Amino acid sequence: MTKLLGTTAGLVGVAIALLAPISPEHYIQQVLSLFRDKPGYPESDRLRCRPFLPKQLLVDHPPLTDEPQIRAAADELRRYLDGLQAEGGFETIAVAVTTAGGPLLVDTRGTLRANESALEGMVVTPHSQYRIASVAKLFPVFLGWLLQQRGIISWDDPVKKHIQDLPENGEDITLYDLATHMSGLGRDWPVGIVQNWPYDVEGGGAPPYNGHDFPTVEELLRSVGDTPRVSPAWTEPQYSNTGAGLLGLALLEAVRAAGVHHGGAEEPSFARLMREEVFELLGMNGSHFLVDEKTAGHVVVPSFMPEVVDQDFLDAMNPAGGQFSSLHDLVTFAQILLDFSQRDSVITRRSLDRWLKPVVSFEEDNLTELGMMWEIIKHRDSNQRLRRVYWKLGLMLAYGSCFAIHPGSSYGVVVLMTGVFPDAAKICYKAFDIFQPAIDAVTADRATDLYEGKWVSDDGLASATVMLEKGVLYLDRLQFNDTDVLSKFPEQSRLALRPTGRTDEFRIDVGFPGFNGLPHMGCYTYWNGKDDYGHKNGNAINLISFLGEAGKRLMNVSSLNSTLHQ
C-alpha cells in the first residue's frame, strides 16, 4: 500500500463529534414546513390519491442541458455553491445532477491535496477519488441483487448458510435482515470500552477511535457471539456497520462456494470481489479500497485529520465504509439505478423495483423511512406533493458524501466533499429544492406532447380529451357512438389516468365512489378498485394506452376496438 501520510495523533474527541448525527436548525424548519398546509394541493386532493406522471417519461425522453428550465436550475445551483465557497463551507466539493440519459450539471471545486501547499495546482475533477464512507454500503446490496438474479443467493438465506463459523447468537439472521438494518446487531462491534464512565464517554464510536483497530473477520464473528443484540430481529431498526460488514462477508463466501473465482495469485477478498463483480462490470475505474501507486495521484486529501486516507478497513469493514469512489463513478451507478427502461441493464427491472421500496417507516416523525440500505426522506415537488428521495449518506471525519436518487422523477444527485463540517446532506437536499421545479416542468412538457389534447378516431365514432393539471393526467371526456363512456363509471366525472408501469399504458382511476377521499380510506379505494372492472375484446374496460412518436401519436382504447389520433 502506498502511504500518502504518516499516522498522526488523535483529535479523537473531535472525530467522535464529527461521526455523530448532524441536526442543523435549518433541517428542523425544513422538516416542519413539509407538513404545513400548502396552497395548491388541498387535503381533499391528497386523500383522493391522485396518480403521478409515469416515471419512465424522463427515461425515454430525457431532459436536455440546454432546455431553459434545466439551464436556469443549473445556474442557480452554481450560485448556491459560489456562496458556500465564499463562506468557507468546504475545502473541496464535487456535485452532479443526473438522469439516466446523462448529467444535467457537473461542478467540481478545490485543491486535490489540501494538506500539501506545493500541490495547489492539482484541482478536483470528476475523476478525483473520495472516501465515500457509508455510501459504500449500497454496493454490497447491489451485488446481492446481481447474485440473486444468478441463483447464487436468496435474500431470505440465513447468514449461517454462507458463513459456517457464525456464532449461535446469529443463526436466526438472514441476508435481508442485514441489508435492512433489522438484524438487531449493534453499530460498531467489537464495542469500545468506556473506561471513565460516568466522567466521560471516551471509547464509543467506530474503530479506530473507540480503542480498537478495524476488526478481522474472526474478531467480527466473535463479537457477534459475545455481545447482546440491541433489539431482537425485526422489532426495532438499528444502524449497524457490523451488519453491513457481515453482509459483505456472506456474499464473498457465497461467491467462493459457487466457484466463481478459481485460483490465481490473488487471494479472494471483498475488495477483489467488488472489483471483479461490480466495478469492472459498470466501468467504475475510480473505485477501490486502498491507496496504491496507481490511485495515489487521484485521491482527495483533506487538511483535517488526513490520516484516514491511509486506513485499511480490512475485509470485515470494507463493506461498511472502506470504499473510495469518484463523482464519475457514482454518476454511472446512479444512471443504472434510474434506467427503468432496462435497456442493456445488469440489474433487472424486478430487482430494481423491489430494491426501491420502503421497508421501515419511522412513525414518530411520519417523514423518514429505511429501505435495503437506503435512508429515505420526503421532498415536496412543485405541485406541493411529497415524494420519496432514496439516499445514502456518508460521514467520515472530513469526508462527507451523499448519493441520492428520486425514482418518481427519474433523476439523482451526488455530492462528495471535504471540510471541517462536511454536511453533504444539506447540499444534496438543496439541489433537489433547486432542480425539482425544473424537472417537473420538463416532465409536464413531455406529458403534454405525448398525451394531452383532443383525440378522434378516423371514422369519427370515438373521441376523447386528455388534460394535464398539477402533474396529474385526466381523461376529461370519452365518447363512443354518441355514448358518454365516462358516465358509465360510478364516479361520473373526469377521471385520472394511473400508470400501470408499462410504457404509455394507464388505467382509468375510478376507486369506489362514496369512499373516495375519506380520511380513513385515502389511496385504499383506488388500490382496491383499479382492477374491479371486467374485460371486453380481451382487455379491461378501464385500460387506455398510447403509442407512436410525438406528432404521430395514437390512443388505443382496446375494449372499444378504437384507435384515436391526436
93-138 pLDDT per residue, tens: 999 999 999 999 999 999 999 866 645 568 999 999 999 999 999 9
User: Tell me, what's the pLDDT at 267?
Assistant: 72
Residue 445 has pLDDT above 50, yes or no: yes
Q: Which long-range contacts (CB under 8 A, 24 or more apart) does 454-462 make?
A: 454/566, 455/555, 455/564, 455/565, 455/566, 456/564, 456/565, 457/562, 457/563, 457/564, 457/565, 458/563, 458/565, 461/562, 462/557, 462/560, 462/562, 462/564
Residue 475 has pLDDT above 90, yes or no: yes
User: Tell me, what's the pLDDT at 509?
Assistant: 96
Q: HEC string of 37-85?
A: CCCCCCHHHHHCCCCCCCCCHHHHCCCCCCCHHHHHHHHHHHHHHHHHH
Instruction: Please provide residue 319's backbone torsions phi and psi, each rounded to the nearest 5 degrees.
Output: -65, -25
Q: What is the pLDDT of residues 184-235, one digit of tens each?
A: 999 999 999 999 999 999 999 999 999 999 999 999 999 999 999 999 999 9
User: Tell me, what's the pLDDT at 38?
Assistant: 47
Least confident piece of the model among 27-41, 168-182, 438-452: 27-41
SS3 category, 408: coil
User: Tell me, what's the pLDDT at 492?
Assistant: 73
Q: What is the pLDDT of residues 131-187, one digit of tens each?
A: 999 999 999 999 999 999 999 999 999 999 999 999 998 999 999 999 999 999 999
Q: By C-alpha distance, which of 181, 183, 158, 182 is closest to 171? A: 158
User: Tell me, what's the pLDDT at 20?
Assistant: 41
What pLDDT band is residue 340 in, cutting at 50, 70 and 90? confident
Q: What is the pLDDT of residues 503-512, one digit of tens each?
A: 999 999 999 9
**CA distances (Å), 188 to each of 191, 231, 241, 247, 399, in order?**
6, 15, 6, 14, 19
Kindly report the pTM of this predicted structure: 0.91
Q: What is the pLDDT of residues 45-80, one digit of tens each?
A: 788 999 999 999 999 999 999 999 999 999 999 999
**CA distances (Å), 449 to each of 60, 329, 466, 517, 548, in order?**
13, 34, 11, 30, 12
What pLDDT band is residue 344 in, cutting at 50, 70 and 90? low
Quote the strand ranges of 203-330, DSSP E.
324-326
- Sign (positive/negative) of CA torsion 168, 173, 179, 185? negative
Distance CA 124, CA 81 (A): 15
Distance CA 531, CA 542 (A): 8
Mean pLDDT of 461-469: 98
Q: Report CA dihedral (153, 159, 162, 168) to the nearest 10 degrees.
A: -160
Bigger pLDDT: 65 or 266?
65
Distance CA 316, CA 246 (A): 7
User: Tell me, what's the pLDDT at 345?
Assistant: 80
Per-domain residue ranges of the chain: 12-36+69-135+293-436, 139-282, 451-565
C-alpha cell of 180? 435492512
User: Tell me, what's the pLDDT at 231?
Assistant: 97
Distance CA 446, CA 4 (A): 50
User: Tell me, what's the pLDDT at 23?
Assistant: 44
- Sign (positive/negative) of CA torsion 258, 218, 19, 275? negative
Distance CA 526, CA 518 (A): 12
- CATH second-level architecture of 12-36+69-135+293-436? 3-Layer(aba) Sandwich (3.40)
Mean pLDDT of 377-402: 97
User: Tell me, what's the pLDDT at 493?
Assistant: 83
Do domains 12-36+69-135+293-436 and 139-282 share one topology? The answer is yes
Least confident piece of the model among 310-314, 352-356, 377-381, 546-550: 546-550
Bigger pLDDT: 418 or 37?
418
CB atoms inside a 10 Å sphere around CB 453: 15
Q: List CB contacts of 226: < 8 A, sequence separation 6 or more.
A: 167, 190
Residue 311 has pLDDT above 60, yes or no: yes
Mean pLDDT of 375-398: 97
**CA distances (Å), 141 to each of 55, 88, 438, in order?**
23, 36, 31
C-alpha cell of 443? 416532465
User: Tell me, what's the pLDDT at 140?
Assistant: 99
Q: What is the pLDDT of residues 317-335, one digit of tens each?
A: 999 999 999 999 999 999 9
- The answer to whether domain 451-565 has CATH 2.40.128 is yes
Class of domain 139-282: alpha beta
**CA distances (Å), 267 to each of 152, 252, 271, 272, 286, in order?**
20, 12, 10, 8, 22
Q: By C-alpha distance, which of 480, 489, 448, 484 is closest to 466? A: 448
Query: b/e map of 217-251 (b: 16 or more CB within 10 Å)?
Result: beebbbbbeebebbeebeeebbbbbbbbbbbbbbb
Contact 369, 361 (CB under 8 A): yes
Q: HEC string of 124-160?
A: CCCCCEEECHHHHHHHHHHHHHHHHHCCCCCCCCEHH
Cis? peptide before 126, omega within 30° of 0: no
Q: By C-alpha distance, which of 478, 473, 476 is closest to 564? A: 478
Q: By C-alpha distance, which of 366, 383, 433, 508 is closest to 45? A: 383
Contact 56, 505 (CB under 8 A): no
User: Tell me, what's the pLDDT at 549?
Assistant: 87
Question: Any idea what DSSP says for residue 215?
Answer: P
C-alpha cell of 368? 423518514
Contact 537, 446 (CB under 8 A): no
Supply the mean pLDDT for the chain.
Answer: 91
Percentage of the chain exceeding pLDDT 70: 89
User: Tell me, what's the pLDDT at 26?
Assistant: 52
Categorise residue 5: left if φ over 0, alpha if ψ from -120 to 50, beta otherwise.
beta
